[in-house]
A = this chain, B = another copy of it.
């Protein structure tokens, strides 16, 4: 892709000390398909400016506020074609709206919004816009997650009976006062879900993506173990899917020894699959009555879907950033197709605003259920 051909990207949020902003930037660079050219990187003007300068943005493309950025960039001849929204959750809706309504594609971090109301409104805004909306449920970008989806769709494990998904972390085991911890445990900014919103949505999205199952109802027992915490830091959820499959979901941020241990296991009538985010280049396939098989990314048994998401040969581990970059890569294909009005190739997959709505519905359902003593509630 020529430098001129690269997608002109802006960013909302992601100032100097943010974690996820840096991740989005690397993800956008890995395959050389985006150029970051503008940003409203912080709600604090000075920090916005300092962060923009540190990233080498031109001074007139550094904005103190996303609305101002949307307005001006939409008018520029070479204004941004897409914007990454990586601010705290409660900002997602308003920011996405400003860009979508001006026809600028949005790549937005999860969860979609901090409230269900906002989520539903954002769906409408996105539906009404010609611009694309891509949600960075980045774990679906991992090649072996694609592999799992492909195998399940091909019937390799048969009709699904049981799903076990878990996402334990330990960084909130004690009360933390850093900025990351602050907003992620503040219901005003993060939404009503704590671990459910921050990571439970990833787990739920992963289940939906890999299995294709639709959730019917859930029963959730949420806890806030750390004194004074206003949102859940541990969640136990039982799942019932349409068609009869059942599942369990555990999210926790108070499980010492777990850094980012997202893990999914799916069992069908003919076999099972198991994948763990911390060792992402492996997929266990356990056909009933045959030896367990360890499929490696790009190795024997690894198919087309994984190959599309891989850059290097088996044995050369790809990681979180490459998985994240795969979402950007899918977005790039879609955006470039959109430039010329072409149809996006059918093999391109990225999480949509609908997936985002489901994530917020998941949080909402968990909170509703938990308030009713973990009664079963309809998912949506």
Chain A residues in the interface with B (C-beta under 8 A): 1-6, 19, 22-23, 25-26, 29-32, 35, 55-56, 157, 161-162, 164, 166, 169-170, 173-174, 219, 221, 223, 225, 234, 236, 238, 240, 246-248, 250, 252, 254-261, 265, 267-272, 274, 277-281, 284-296, 299-301, 311-322, 373-376
Contacts and interface: CB of A to CB of B under 8 A. Distances in A.
B236 A56 contact: no
Nearest to A274: B257
A135 to B, nearest CB: 18
Contact of A286 (B1, B250, B256, B265): B256
25 contacts: A3-B56, A25-B32, A26-B311, A164-B250, A170-B272, A173-B288, A174-B269, A219-B221, A223-B246, A257-B267, A257-B286, A258-B272, A259-B314, A260-B316, A277-B315, A277-B317, A279-B279, A285-B291, A291-B296, A291-B301, A292-B293, A292-B296, A316-B319, A316-B320, A319-B321
Contact of A322 (B31, B169, B287, B321): B321
Contacts of A269: 173-174
A284 B260 contact: no
A225 B255 CA distance: 32
A320 B274 CA distance: 23
A29 B35 CA distance: 11
A252 B161 CA distance: 11
A279 B268 CA distance: 25
A287 B285 CA distance: 16
Contacts of A6: 56
B321 A30 contact: yes
Contacts of A374: 219, 238, 376
Contacts of A300: 289-291
B260 A315 contact: yes
B257 A162 contact: no
Contacts of A246: 221, 223, 234, 236
B301 A290 contact: yes
A333 to B, nearest CB: 16
Contacts of A22: 311-312
A31 to B, nearest CB: 7
B238 A221 contact: yes
A1 B3 CA distance: 17
A175 B173 CA distance: 43
A287 to B, nearest CB: 7
B320 A312 contact: yes
A317 B279 contact: yes
A35 B2 CA distance: 12
B56 A2 contact: yes
Given A30-B29, A174-B288, A291-B300, A314 B256 contact: no
